[in-house]
Amino acid sequence: MRKLQVTYLPGETTVHVPEGTSLFNAAHWAGLPIESTCGGRGTCGKCKVRVLEGAADPTPSDHRHLLAAEIVEGWRLSCRCEVVEDTRAEVPRLMRAPKAATMGVGRFVLLEPNVRKLVLDLSAPSLEDARSHAGRLRDALVEEGLEVQADAPVLRTLAGIAGESERRVTATVVGDRLVEVEPGDTSARMFGASVDLGTTTVVATLVDLVTGAATAVASTLNGQARYGADVIARMGHAMQGGEEALEELRQAALDTVNGLLEEVCGNAAVDPSEIYEVVLVGNATMLHLFLGVEPRSIALAPFVATFLEPLDLSAREARLRIHPRGRVALFPSIGAYVGADIVADVVATGLAREPRMRLLVDVGTNGEIVCGNVDRVAATAAPAGPAFEGGQILHGMRASEGAIEGVRLGEDVRLQVIGGVEPRGICGSGLVDVVAQLRLSGLLKENGILASPEEVPGHPLSAHLVERDGVRAFALTGDIVLTQLDVRELQSAKGAIATGIEVAMDHLGLEPEDLEEVLLAGAFGTYINPESARVLGLVPPVPVERIKAVGNTASEGAKMALTSFREREVAFEQLPKMIEYVELSGAEDFNERFIRNLAFPSLEAVRA
């Protein structure tokens, strides 16, 4: 995608954006909040700029809101004016006191949700003014810069209000849709929710759209897990079982999401009907199954999704239990295996908006990888399998009470256990820790083979080297062991991730020393020890201080799009044009790379 230069006066602020970006969105990219009350839809007429250089043919919205003399002088509505060549523009008015909050990874976000409540004082009808109640409401909204659509249920509500003496009403608008009209002023109660529909874990966040604050958060296992631990297994279930199996998977996802929405509403004393919008992210397979769309085309070469584009659905279509006329927005995906969650990661981290060269790895059953900066971004995905989630590990478990989440080996074995209770098993971060510690302590070879007690006589931990069912193992406790097979599972998972990173970096011509920061995202990335990740070769050999765990940035990116229509435009319109999708299976030397990356780095390289 060709990138063009846009310069804004009077401050000579310059930004490079994908061709076709509006001047309004390009200004946001540059950190210049041009004023708008319509969400950049060309109906309020407040975002005008003067184009000094560059093509800018007037649009119908320009003719509707600007004077003929202004159009001749080069004035245009910035939200309607697309950048098709290098452009210089004068911005006469920016938002003077924007309401903002810090979200994502240190991102400064303007609070302008897609949901708005407008308190209107409607004039009383008379013989001289016999406009319909709907027309009276529509005209009042137009004065506020909004042109909206209303369906029959809203009209029925309006009919009930029209007979009352109360002339003050609150209109709730989501995007360009009027979803509710209430008597009086209800503007203090306005909520939305962001949902990260992960393959393993689903997270829902209830957000007060008046303040931008998260009022409740809940998470649980994806109910689809009983049909398979990863996306491949679930796609297989859908393909083999036909419509019935597809509906089972969809209903499992819906039950999970609706259950979480009910939970966060209960925790915050919010009625579900006060949620007017849900923004949902997930990998492409999860989004297909959420909508009941067969994922067969994702599973089979050439791995093409039925849809990648963002979707705007009614709550009824999506089958979510929120306001009956609320909306559900699905983030766009980049490719069949680089989903909406990675787009949300990029939004939350600002990776595509800064000059720093960064690598982001969302570690999970499907490891998603993106690297680049404001100039160029590439993304790919690696089928890591469930090892990082504790799957297919003898004593593996998810990160819950009783899970070993950290390990240190010295003269003895020191364990960090979630909840401070007796250990019941080991989760992903503990798995990475113990294997890294075994490497550093000399009990695990570069090829991944555990030492036998005879090979390390006198080692303080040699008594922990045991056998379990004829397989070499390392005893963490009397009952919990790490087996040679567990190490192989981790090697396979980290080998896939490391190969994906190599391929993405090679696509951009990058070397490890070019990386200024490595970001570990996702639920797993929150708890992984950066030093352990480096020891295993899960990430490139950069100084450990450059490796940063950033948590669930997919959920944060969804929340940012929920609370700011400007961030939503970046996510839905700009990033899909900018991010270059690299199909990992298309790499000619993938097998050779993968086999090479199964080995662990030498201790000399790790300690260098």
* Superfamily of domain 3-96, CATH level 4: Beta-grasp domain (3.10.20.30)
* pLDDT number for residue 164: 63
Distance, in Å, from the CA atom of 379 to the CA atom of 400, rounded to the nearest integer, reads: 31
**Proportion of the chain in helix, strand, coil states, percent, rounded to 5:** 35, 25, 35
**Which residue, chain included where needed, has tokens 């083999």?**
240
Secondary structure E strands in 166-236: 168-174, 177-183, 191-197, 201-208, 214-221
The confidence score (pLDDT) of residue 411 equals 94
SS3 call for 418: helix
Structure-token pair, residue 522: 């996702």
Instruction: Determine if the pTM surpasses 0.85.
Output: yes
Nearest to 536 by CA among 596, 495, 479, 593: 495
User: Domain boundaries in the chain?
Assistant: 3-96, 115-183, 191-330, 341-386+490-607, 387-483
Whether domain 115-183 has CATH 3.10.20.880: yes
Q: For position 232, what pLDDT does the model report?
A: 87
CB 50 within 8 A of CB 89: yes
Residues of the chain with pLDDT under 50: none
> What is the structure's pLDDT at 422?
95
* pLDDT at res. 161: 81
Topology match between the domains 115-183 and 191-330 = no
| Number of CB atoms found within 10 A of residue 111's CB | 16
**Residue of 145, 211, 134 lying closest to 169 (CA atoms):** 134
> Nearest 5°: CA angle at 432, between 428 and 434?
115
Q: The tokens 């809940």 sit on which residue?
A: 218
Q: How far apart are CA 196 and CA 335, in angstroms?
A: 18
Say how far apart CA 542 and CA 501 lie, in whole Å: 13
Residue 566 structure tokens: 């400007």
Q: How far apart are the first and last CA of the chain?
A: 39
Tell me, what amino acid is at 83? Answer: V
pLDDT in the model for residue 200: 83
Phi then psi dihedrals of residue 518, to 5 deg: -120, 120
CATH number of the 341-386+490-607 domain: 3.30.420
CATH number corresponding to 191-330 = 3.30.420.480
Supply 460's token pair: 């303080």
Q: Are strands 201-208 and 311-314 parallel, antiparallel or unpaired?
A: unpaired
| Amino acid letter, 221 | L
